[in-house]
Structure 1
Amino acid sequence: MTFSIVGRCARTGQLGVAISSSSIAVGARCPWLEAGVGAVSTQNITLPALGPQVLGRLAEQTPAEAALAQVMAAEPWREHRQVTVVDAQGRTAHFSGREALGLHHAVAGAQCVAAGNLLASPAVIEAMVPAFESTPGPLADRLLAAMQAALAAGGEAGPVHSAALKVVGEVPWPIIDLRVDWAEADPIGQLAGLWQAYRPQMQDYLTRALDPTAAPSYGVPGDE
């Protein structure tokens, strides 16, 4: 029903999540991030509260593996959950309960974790980590490359309908927060298209927020 990757850029310190699902609006429930703290994907019969709970422990300087273990130990329905984590130092952790749906799998790589459930095959997840690790450029490009590699390897057992990309950097709000909440076909391709449209504008939105006097024209009537 879902496959995702959480990752960190060693060069910039950015943290991000890319995710897709057969369910509607996966980006509303599953990715959780905090700048300078970590990134979490909580999926498979999703309990959104697990994201903030793990981030809270990461904010206390608890390493990813210990933070996830503490949260899952207190979760009575943990065997139904799948959770992945990368912290601000690039340490990773993942958990897949015994009741995770269908064929499920998780793989950790260099400052990234890929995981999914109801998969066409384990190769779907195994393709994501090398794609992330070998793709140059911004973190968003690397996360989306991993998602495309998952699709090429077979993706989910059924069609996917929603996708999301979320990245945090130096400011306390997401610098990228793009979602395809429902598509009959190719939500990951649509998400990649959104990123290509947003990418050249991203810095302008940061400039407008941090220093309005340096902001470029908004390009709307009345703006000079």
Structure 2
Amino acid sequence: MKLVTALMVFCFFQFSSSQVYKKSEPFAHTFSIVARDTVTGNIGVAVQSHWFSVGTTVTYAEAGVGVVATQSLVNPSYGPKGLALMKQGLSPQQALDALIANDPGEMYRQVAFLNTKGEVATHTGSACIEEAGHVQGKNFSAQANMMLKNTVWDAMAKAFETTKGDFNDRIIAALEAAQGEKGDIRGSQSAAILIVKPVATGNSWEDVVMDLRVEDNPHPVQELKRLVKLQKAYDFMNDGDLAMEAGDSKKAEALYLSAQKLFPENLEMRYWYAVNLLNNKQYDMAHPILKSIFEQEPNWKTLTKRIVKNKLLVIPKEELEKVMNL
């Protein structure tokens, strides 16, 4: 096995450029978490930094393979190369060791790898700016550098392990815990979360469970948390659309209502819920909702006439006239 591993690493580096420290590499001093959900098997990585668009630099993931966070004085190649090595069968530790061994700037790096088994490997280089450190747990690793205090990574670990809720809720809780310890000594600017499935589907657009970024915001973790909640609502909407397409208006109604409960002020969520009330002959319930929507934005009334043609709205002509007169 050791011989096979050595040959795989040798071949990998024969066909890839050497990693070197460059002054041009981004300064993504930050805190992050890589983790696996024991319920769904999903794997994810999330990050926050006082650096613009940190998600484009730090977070990497591939369904069925693993996730990577590469930060501090970032060598972005740790992302794709780390995933490639894990995909070839190396453990996170073997992959990380191979990259560190070929990186003259390893002392500036902070990197975390996690695979679909929940195995982790983490490196905090000796030249990372204090406070810097990491902590590993079952199915996760939390890491941070250039923090105000050295309590950040332990707080992240505790939050991830003890928070109840969905996988993304636990990841966001870890970021919030870091902020609760004052986080990045410079403050806050951007954040990101990337979650993929444990098994690749063969369709890349189906493999990503969540990919959200806050590029520039004074409170990026709070904004990321809002976006996560919004995606949950739109996941209900998307499933509602599929139910409508299949002609199951009762299921669609329930799904749209679930979305609406998360964001009751969202006109579109309210609209499609009302449309399915009409489809289910619950006209008295639908009318006040639609009247309120039409008063705020008349274009929704125009749309209502159009969706009759493609049978997304199926009601008698006299009922449609009542809707048009609201």
Q: TM-score, normalised by structure 1?
A: 0.90
Find the partner of 1:10 among 25, 38, 41: 38
Of residues 5-14 and 130-139 in structure 1, the stretch that sits farther from structure 2 once superposed is 130-139
Runs of 4+ with >2 A deviation: 170-173, 202-209, 211-224
Inter-CA distance 63–204: structure 2 relative to 1 (3 Å threshold):
farther
Aligned-residue CA RMSD (Å) = 2.3
- Match runs of 1:5-84 below 5 Å: 5-84=33-112
Q: Structure 2 residue aligned with 1:179, among 213, 219, 232?
A: 213
More strand by percentage: 1
Asked if structure 2 preserves the Cα contact closer than 8 Å seen for 1:129 and 1:146, the reply is yes
Greater mean deviation of Cα atoms: 195-204 or 65-74: 195-204
SS in 1 for 2:185: coil
Identity %: 30
Deviation at 1:190, TM superposition (A): 0.6
Aligned residues: 222
TM-score between the two structures when normalised by the length of structure 2:
0.63
Find 1:99's aligned residue among 127, 143, 148.
Answer: 127
Decide whether aligned partners of structure 1 residues 167 and 208 sit closer, same or farther in structure 2, where only a CA change above 3 A counts: farther
Q: Which structure has more RCO (C-alpha within 8 Å, separation ≥ 6)? A: 1
- Structure 2: gaps of 5 or more residues: 1-28, 257-267, 273-299, 313-326
**Residue 160 of structure 2: aligned partner:** 132
Distance in 2 between the 1:48 and 1:208 partners?
38
Once residues 137 and 237 of structure 2 are traced to their aligned partners in structure 1, the CA distance between those partners, rounded to angstroms, is: 33
Between Structure 1 and Structure 2, whose CA radius of gyration is higher?
2
- 1:181, CA displacement in angstroms? 0.2
> Contact (CA 8 Å) 1:80, 1:100: kept in 2 or not?
yes
For 1:191 and 1:6, the matched residues in 2 are separated by: 16
Flag structure 1 segments of 5+ consecutive residues without an equivalent: none
Structure 2: how far apart are the matches of 1:212 and 1:29? 39
Is the contact between residue 164 and residue 177 of structure 1 (CA under 8 Å) also seen in structure 2? yes
- Amino acid of the structure 2 residue aligned with 1:42: T
After TM superposition, the structure 1 = structure 2 runs for residues 197-208 of structure 1, keeping only pairs within 5 Å, are 197-202=230-235, 205=238
Partner SS for 1:18: strand
Summarize deviations over 1:8-59 as a string: whole Å, max 9, x none. Answer: 0011110111100011000111100011111110001112111111111111
Distance 1:204 1:73 in 2: 48
> How many Å separate the matches in 1 of 2:73 and 2:239?
35
Q: Which has the higher helix share?
A: 2
Structure 2 counterpart SS, 1:36:
coil
